[in-house]
Amino acid sequence: MKIKKDVLSIMDDYSTFFVDLYGVLFDGMTFSKQVLLTLKVLKQAGKKVVIVSNSAALASESYAGYVKGGLIPGVHYDEFVTSGEYLHYSLKNYSDKFSEAIGGPANTVKCVFMGNSGIFRETGIQSVSDTAEADFLYLGPPRSSYGTVYLDDVRDEKEKEVNLEDVLSKDWNSLKDRYGRTGLMEFAALLEKCLRLNKTLLILNPDIFASVTVDQFPNHARPIVTQGILGAYYEKLGGRVVRYGKPNVEIFEYAKQISDAVNPIIMVGDTPWTDVSGASACGIDAALVTSTGVSFTFLNKMDRSLSMNEKLNYLFNVIAPKMSKSLFNVRPRHFIEHFYRTNLPHTI
């Protein structure tokens, strides 16, 4: 399989580009100049650019925040679609389907962690503080008692390091990090309480983890716990989970609708089990970015004696089924090293 240098290598083949945010355009801290310039090239070539993100925030809140980082609507992209925005649209227009998914009435919600309660505004759903009184629980970005929990530093009861792709299969009550911190234990206790109360969890970020930059050094991204892995663990315990966002087909169809997407369409992302599988289910092509984001997190840890083809085969044949908890038989149409082109003139 041939890996192309960047998204501009396939620009002429597509009219609409759906593009993931974290791991493709954004590293958790900044938008690089190369990313912003590459987006401008796509726009100036007449391409429709739609950011499709598993962010739980409303789209208006998202793009308002990113403008400060230089990402400007109309200049760099046409539409910003988030899983939070799609949920809000669904609650206002198809509330009966949401209640059916939840498994009963959906009149009250308890936001766990710092949930973005704005997504429930003008939907008729009331926020409550008592978990027992809530019809369902909305899981915000997880935070432990000491803050962010990283998944590249997990140890089992024998102090043996747990591979990233194996964390979900473990009993979290026995896991710590190298400093003895017990973030995953805290999450397990919370989920076990939810299970005893027979509560449905609403997840707006199905990603199992996010790869984010934690300092100013290049390529120093770390995988952090997101809502998706808590939802997957809750299902493992026997709990009910409702997800909005990639890889669900509905968010791709919603993105097509609000952007007036023109065929042919491609999804550019960094995650096989959300970006690639979701695009495939929706009947559109996908391009997987290999040198940033989630895929890079795995590929960079593999034996350096392996060829890139061997690494990608392992990613799709071994790791992807573990992360998606299913047989994984989809592949992207393209592999690209980076989203951005490195040698663009700054005067575009």
For residue 166, give the amino acid letter.
Answer: D
Q: Domain boundary residue among 217, 243, 269?
A: 243
Which pLDDT value is given to residue 116?
62
Residues 129 and 226 in one domain: yes
Q: Full-prediction pTM beyond 0.85?
A: yes
Q: Domain boundary residue among 176, 208, 243?
A: 243
Domain total of the chain: 2
Residues 250 and 313 in one domain: yes
Q: Domain boundary residue among 243, 260, 288?
A: 243
Range of the domain at 168: 102-243
Give the mean pLDDT per block of 10 residues along the chain (348 residues): 94 98 91 96 98 92 86 97 95 91 92 79 92 94 94 95 96 96 97 97 94 66 93 97 97 97 98 97 97 95 96 96 90 97 82
Domain-located, residue 91: no
CATH of the domain at 176: 3.40.50.1000
Residues 283 and 199 in one domain: no
Which pLDDT value is given to residue 218?
52
What's the pLDDT tens digit per position in 194-233?
A: 999 999 999 999 999 998 886 644 557 899 999 999 999 9
Residues 239 and 253 in one domain: no
